[in-house]
Chains A and B, each alone.
Chain A
Amino acid sequence: NAGVTQTPKFRVLKTGQSMTLLCAQDMNHEYMYWYRQDPGMGLRLIHYSVGEGTTAKGEVPDGYNVSRLKKQNFLLGLESAAPSQTSVYFCASSSIAYNEQFFGPGTRLTVL
């Protein structure tokens, strides 16, 4: 039982490049989330999903897109990376609303 996994762990991009971060969970959770963590800012919600095929915007969605084609996977895309998107990205999942969220180990992204 791996819990929540994230791929890749580290990535360096140049401004304007695109990439996709993959989150996978093996707990059969309905809800999945993408956060970004910046120094002094805590965790801020980017997008979330309440089930397969559904996604919604969080607090800071601009510049990101997401997809949830399979229940166990939640993808976060950056179409044209900007230096302001340099951050640590965390994926999380939960079984029901307002309940404990299980976090992945994070992806450290640097945009030059």
Chain B
Amino acid sequence: AQSVTQPDIHITVSEGASLELRCNYSYGATPYLFWYVQSPGQGLQLLLKYFSGDTLVQGIKGFEAEFKRSQSSFNLRKPSVHWSDAAEYFCAVGVSGNQAGTALIFGKGTTLSVSS
């Protein structure tokens, strides 16, 4: 069955430091890939998405992600973290033929804390 794994439940980064959040998926073909961010008490907002083409994708708020087919990964990066980036981050995969039809499969999320 298709699955999405975010190995890190919680990460703390100093303000101004770089960030990388990991995401691995299990699927035979190239899926559609997404990163969402959820601030406390809010809904989910799309940061970026990958469908095809250039494997390095730029998103909003200075985030980027790189699709690596050989590693089945879609890691999220930011060169310099701001305190306002503290939130929960979800990786999601859109696959055809999954049990839920047309829906996305979400990882369990990584909580990012930013220290001053």
Contact = CB atoms under 8 A, between A and B. Distances in A.
Contacts of B36: 103
A58 B107 contact: no
A50 B101 contact: yes
A48 B102 contact: yes
Interface residues of B, number: 26
A105 B43 contact: yes
A85 B83 CA distance: 33
A74 interface: no
A84 B62 CA distance: 39
Interface of B: 9, 31-32, 34, 36, 41-46, 49, 90, 94-96, 99-104, 106-109
Interface of A: 4, 31, 33, 40-43, 45, 48, 50, 56, 58-59, 90, 92, 94, 97-106
21 contacts: A4-B43, A40-B108, A42-B90, A42-B107, A42-B108, A42-B109, A43-B90, A45-B100, A48-B101, A58-B103, A59-B100, A94-B102, A98-B32, A98-B102, A99-B32, A99-B94, A101-B44, A104-B43, A105-B43, A106-B41, A106-B42
